[in-house]
Amino acid sequence: MNAIDPGAIDIFSPYRLGPLQMKNRMVMAPLTRSRAEPGNLPSNMAAEYYSQRAGAGLIITEATQAGAGGQGYIATPGIHSQQQVAAWRKVTGAVHQRGGLVFVQLWHVGRISHPDFRNGEAPVAPSAIAPRGVQTYTAQGLKDIPTPRALEKDEIAAIVGEFRAAAANAKSAGFDGVEIHGANGYLLDQFLEDGTNQRSDDYGGSIENRARLLFEVIAQASQVLGSDRVGVRLSPGGTFNDMCESHPHDTFGYVVRQLSTLNLAYLHLIEPSSTPGEHPLPDLSARYFRPLYPGTLIVAGGYNHERANAVLKAGLADLVAFGQPFLANPDLPERLRRGAALNAPNPATYYGGGAEGYIDYPTLAQAAS
Ligand SMILES: Cc1cc2nc3c(=O)[nH]c(=O)nc-3n(C[C@H](O)[C@H](O)[C@H](O)COP(=O)(O)O)c2cc1C
């Protein structure tokens, strides 16, 4: 938290993020777009897409595989091969050239995968519990997700190693930092929550054990990059991907308190009331977590100009992430500054396809010409 009266700040106020200077408090939320090229390489279009959005104070990329085994959807990029690192370098170069900052979001999908992505082998997870009613996009379209296999301990250690290598690759690709994807029912969240983690070794049972993998990954990334270039995303109380935790306040309260001791770049919370169809759990919002986390807090989920300013002025968050508004408005900060109308996002072009719905949303200047 930067030490000024929160009442005086708004989304356009600059912010000091550890070693980095943000020009405003608007973050582009991580958005999977499923347009990676063969080899799971970010494309030249990705460089254009992200650099168009360099007016954000900070861009967080789409979720990106730390290791080859962590993929769960078609055409999501990786950062585990040297070709991928070279392709990402074009993205970071283009964003920096336009004065932006960019973190890469690192994930392993865990059970939210399909044998098509794993050389015919079953997905892996803390425990052999299938997500009910969840499908994934493969090269042959939507497919049901089979029951995963529980990870062996040596495999867990290998995954921690993949995150470390991915952090080193992120540095070499020119990223300003990494965000560890601990949200939305993917591997690290699957370990945290008791609905998906029924292990009896030191990665299961107590909350300290269930959080062990997340903290090992953070420690490795921090060793490589410095903790002030490592952010973490969590979705306390979220039910996306068939997640369920019987004591969300205790579990996430513990995790957030521990995170607050690590001098991280930030903690990024998806508030549970923000996902359509979910029951709002008001006390799992930033209001609950802010007192537990004095460091930089980002909130996400359904924010517009007014709500974003309100949460900043109340001192409940330091930064606000915008997902769909940034997807459809490359010049979102400029539009909000001017009180201009926003382009509406088109969900039909969220995932897959080409330039349409990706790099062709007009700026204000383009719309006027
Ligand atoms: C098309 C799409 C892709 C998304 N991909 C990711 C992702 O890769 N990683 C992640 O943590 N969240 C992802 N999310 C969630 C967003 O980051 C964000 O939390 C959500 O859209 C709510 O914010 P909004 O109301 O401003 O859009 C995605 C959301 C959408 C709509």
105 close to ligand 1 (CB < 6 Angstrom): yes
Q: Whose CA is nearest to atom 2 of ligand 1?
A: 31
Judged against a pLDDT cut of 70, whether residue 323 lies above it is answered with yes
Residue 190: the pLDDT is 98
Contacts (Cβ under 8 Å, ≥6 apart) of 110? 70, 72, 123, 124, 125, 126, 148, 186, 187, 188, 190
77 close to ligand 1 (CB < 6 Angstrom): no
Q: Report which ligand 1 atom has the smallest distance to the Cα of 322.
A: 26
Q: How far is the CA of 323 from the centre of ligand 1 (A)?
A: 5
Q: Whose CA is nearest to atom 18 of ligand 1?
A: 323
Q: What percent of the chain has pLDDT over 90?
A: 93
Confidence class of residue 3 from pLDDT cuts 50, 70 and 90? low
Mean pLDDT of 106-112: 98
Q: How far is the CA of 184 from the centre of ligand 1 (A)?
A: 9
The residues that are catalytic are 186
Judged against a pLDDT cut of 70, whether residue 270 lies above it is answered with yes
Mutation test residue for ligand 1: of 11, 27, 28, 32, the one with most atoms within 8 Å of CB: 32
181 close to ligand 1 (CB < 6 Angstrom): yes
13 close to ligand 1 (CB < 6 Angstrom): no
Is residue 80 a contact partner of residue 165, using CB atoms and an 8 Å limit?
A: yes
62 close to ligand 1 (CB < 6 Angstrom): yes
Domain extents in the chain:
6-368
Judged against a pLDDT cut of 60, whether residue 1 lies above it is answered with no
Residue 8: the pLDDT is 87
Judged against a pLDDT cut of 90, whether residue 97 lies above it is answered with yes
Q: How far is the CA of 327 from the centre of ligand 1 (A)?
A: 10
Mean pLDDT of the chain: 95
Mean pLDDT of 111-115: 98
User: pLDDT tens, 188-197?
Assistant: 999 999 999 9
Q: How far is the CA of 209 from the centre of ligand 1 (A)?
A: 28
Architecture in CATH of 6-368: Alpha-Beta Barrel (3.20)
Mean pLDDT of 277-291: 74
103 strand-pairing partners: 60, 177
User: pLDDT tens, 47-81?
Assistant: 999 999 999 999 999 999 999 999 999 999 999 99
Residue 284: the pLDDT is 87
273 close to ligand 1 (CB < 6 Angstrom): no
